[in-house]
Amino acid sequence: MTERVPQQERSRITREGLLRAAVDVLAEQGWSAATVATVAARAGVSRGAAQHHFPTREALVTATLEQIFADLTEVASSATATATATGEGDRVAAVVHRAVGIYTGKEFKAALQVWAAAASDPALRELILPLEAKFARAAHRMTVEALGHSDDQAHIHRIAQLTLDLARGLGLADTLSDDSTRRAQVVATYIDLVRSALGE
Amino acid sequence: MTERVPQQERSRITREGLLRAAVDVLAEQGWSAATVATVAARAGVSRGAAQHHFPTREALVTATLEQIFADLTEVASSATATATATGEGDRVAAVVHRAVGIYTGKEFKAALQVWAAAASDPALRELILPLEAKFARAAHRMTVEALGHSDDQAHIHRIAQLTLDLARGLGLADTLSDDSTRRAQVVATYIDLVRSALGE
């Protein structure tokens, strides 16, 4: 008897393949290339099948951004576990490195393309702002948890925001050329500042 | 006798008008809109006259980025003067506010469009990387000068880089919606961290 993949399962696999292909196309070829047809070709899926999942470019791009944010939240979540498992001294370093990791990968480069396009497209902006806000809240919450408790919890909240803002800036500096050497120094300086601020 | 504007002067005015229009088009309508024809229309210049100055889109975009960086360097330069004129205690705040100012204006939003386009266009990337590097050096040098001297000058250099990276991240957070309220808190937290780090 031949093993058959149920229809529902095949549909899920096709959808995931399209979303992965969309991340690759956005990160490597940019916004203008990221059409349903190009992404379908990259995923090895027929245009008709792709349009069944994503009738419009907006539907594809929105779902891709949701997938990116879900993936990044998972990365941040495992970072929280790692940071919590390590000693007090390494905790700040672990939190900062993971925040920077979120914004220096392929996913951020893909999201940046959508971001830039949305800056001049009000309809796209309305679609992605809630996704962006949800992700920002999740990233902030996990960074706060990973930094641990303090007598001044509001201070921890602000340090978490600062960390994510710095990470975003470092991510942007990495989009046109490999900035990893310079970034390592900046990150080390920042870790020292945060350790002092937290009295560690 | 009618006053006549010399040909050379008129040419300079036309060129400047085109560059200003290009910044507006990039910041408001995005990369795909920023063609020589659209920018010429926005500047109220004939397409032929525009093409005399900028035969290609690449020539227009490169010159626009040069103009943006020159304008931002001028802003940063006056910031240096302001910071130097103020007392030691206000110096850090002045430096940080001006760095953030650089990345939260219309010019940064326009540059971000070119940046995003260059991420997937190797030829454009080669054109803008040297401009970007030159601007980064100028911004860094002026931030270092504004922060003042210390026994550990390498530390000042790293704080200057950190400040500009944070400012870039805050700029990116401001592209889709007005982030000024949240930003003010993050900036205040960062100023406290830097003051502590510099022993002020």
Residue range A118-164, pLDDT digits in tens: 998 999 999 999 999 999 999 999 999 998 877 888 999 999 999 99
Q: Which of B117, B121, B166 sits opposite A166 (nearest CB)?
A: B166
Looking at the complex, does the CB of residue A117 fall below 8 Å from at least one CB of chain B? Answer: yes
Looking at the complex, does the CB of residue B158 fall below 8 Å from at least one CB of chain A? Answer: yes
Which positions in chain B touch A123 (Cβ < 8 Å)? none
Please identify which residue in the block is written with the tokens 């340090």.
A159
What tens digit of pLDDT does each residue of B119-175 get? Answer: 989 999 999 999 999 999 999 999 999 988 778 889 999 999 999 999 999 999 999
Cα–Cα–Cα angle for B6, B12, B17, nearest 5°? 125
Looking at the complex, does the CB of residue B29 fall below 8 Å from at least one CB of chain A? Answer: yes
Looking at the complex, does the CB of residue B161 fall below 8 Å from at least one CB of chain A? Answer: yes
DSSP letter at B31?
Answer: G
Q: Are A45 and A14 in contact (CB under 8 A)?
A: yes
| Residue B125 to chain A, least CA–CA distance (Å) | 7
Alpha-carbon separation of residue B138 from A48, B40, B72, B92 (angstroms):
52, 31, 10, 18
Shortest CA distance from B28: residue in chain A: A120
Contact A120 B193 (CB under 8 A): no
Residues 166-195 on A with a CB inside 8 Å of B are: 166-173, 175-177, 182, 185-186, 189-190, 192-194
> What DSSP letter does each residue of A48-106 carry, written as one string?
HHHHHH-SSHHHHHHHHHHHHHHHHHHHHHHHHHHHHHS-HHHHHHHHHHHHHHHHSSH
Alpha-carbon separation of residue B164 from B97, B100, B142, B196 (angstroms):
11, 8, 11, 18
Rounded to whole angstroms, the Cα distance separating B111 from B23 reads: 8
Tokens of B133: 């590097």
Query: Secondary structure of chain B: what % helix, strand, coil (to 5)?
Result: 80, 0, 20
What tens digit of pLDDT does each residue of A5-29 get? Answer: 788 899 999 999 999 999 999 999 9
Task: Print pLDDT tens along chain B (200 aa).
Answer: 556 778 889 999 999 999 999 999 999 999 999 999 999 999 999 999 999 999 999 999 999 999 999 988 887 677 666 656 655 558 899 999 999 999 999 999 999 999 999 998 999 999 999 999 999 999 999 999 998 877 888 999 999 999 999 999 999 999 989 999 999 999 999 999 999 988 87
Looking at the complex, does the CB of residue A123 fall below 8 Å from at least one CB of chain B? Answer: no
Test the A interface: residue of B106, B137, B176 with most A CBs within 10 Å:
B176
Which positions in chain A touch B168 (Cβ < 8 Å)? 168-169, 172-173
**How many residues are recorded in chain B?**
200
DSSP letter at A3?
Answer: -
Complex confidence, ipTM: 0.90
Q: Check pLDDT > 60 for residue A58.
A: yes
Closest CA to A173 of B175, B73, B144, B132: B132
The domains of chain B are located at 61-197
Looking at the complex, does the CB of residue B88 fall below 8 Å from at least one CB of chain A? Answer: no
| Residue B136 to chain A, least CA–CA distance (Å) | 10
Rounded to whole angstroms, the Cα distance separating A200 from A196 reads: 6
Rounded to whole angstroms, the Cα distance separating A67 from A74 reads: 11
What tens digit of pLDDT does each residue of A62-96 get? Answer: 999 999 999 888 876 776 666 566 555 588 999 99
pLDDT value, residue B60 = 97
Contact A166 B169 (CB under 8 A): yes
Contact B161 A169 (CB under 8 A): no
Q: Are A170 and A103 in contact (CB under 8 A)?
A: yes
Rounded to whole angstroms, the Cα distance separating B27 from B67 reads: 14
Looking at the complex, does the CB of residue B135 fall below 8 Å from at least one CB of chain A? Answer: no
Rounded to whole angstroms, the Cα distance separating B31 from A98 reads: 31
Contact B196 A197 (CB under 8 A): yes
Alpha-carbon separation of residue B63 from B15, B49, B160, B172 (angstroms):
10, 16, 27, 23
Contact B165 A170 (CB under 8 A): yes
Angular region, A185: left φ>0, alpha ψ -120 to 50, beta rest: alpha
What tens digit of pLDDT does each residue of A175-200 get? Answer: 989 999 999 999 999 999 999 988 87
pLDDT value, residue B148 = 83
Q: State the angle between helix axes of A153-173 and A88-103 in degrees (0 to 180), rounded to the nearest 10.
A: 40
Q: Are A159 and A197 in contact (CB under 8 A)?
A: yes
Which positions in chain A touch B155 (Cβ < 8 Å)? 189
Rounded to whole angstroms, the Cα distance separating A75 from B118 reads: 27
Tokens of B137: 């050096």
Cα–Cα–Cα angle for A163, A169, A170, nearest 5°? 85
